Amino acid sequence: MRIAEKVKETGVIYIGGGVPKDFIQLFAVSADLLYSSKRVEGRKKKPIHCNVTDENYYPHKYAVQITTDSPQWGGLSGCSFEEAISWGKEIKGGHYIQCFCDATIALPIIAHALCERLDFKRKPSLFRREEGFWKINV
> What is the SS3 assignment for the chain?
CCHHHCCCCCEEEEECCCHHHHHHHHHCCCHHHHCCCCCCCCCCCCCEEECCCCEEECCEEEEEEEECCCHHHCCHHHCCHHHHHHCCCEEEEEEEEEEECCHHHHHHHHHHHHHHHHHHHCCCCCEEEECCEEEECC
How confident is the model at residue 104, as a pLDDT? 94
- The tens digit of pLDDT for each residue in 48-92 reads 766 666 777 778 888 998 988 877 776 666 577 888 888 788 888
How confident is the model at residue 108, as a pLDDT? 93
| Beta carbons within 10 angstroms of residue 8's beta carbon | 8
User: Catalytic one among 6, 21, 46, 89?
Assistant: 89
Percentage of residues in the chain having pLDDT higher than 70: 71
Model's pTM, two decimal places? 0.68
* SS3 of 14-34: EECCCHHHHHHHHHCCCHHHH
- The neighbouring-strand residues paired with 48 are 57
The yes-or-no answer on residue 89 being catalytic is yes
pLDDT, average across residues 105-112:
91
How confident is the model at residue 38, as a pLDDT? 61
- The tens digit of pLDDT for each residue in 30-47 reads 766 776 666 666 666 677
Residue 102 has pLDDT above 70, yes or no: yes
How confident is the model at residue 109, as a pLDDT? 93
Strand 11-15 to strand 60-67: parallel, antiparallel, or no bridges (unpaired)? parallel
Task: Report the chain's mean pLDDT, rounded to a whole number.
Answer: 77
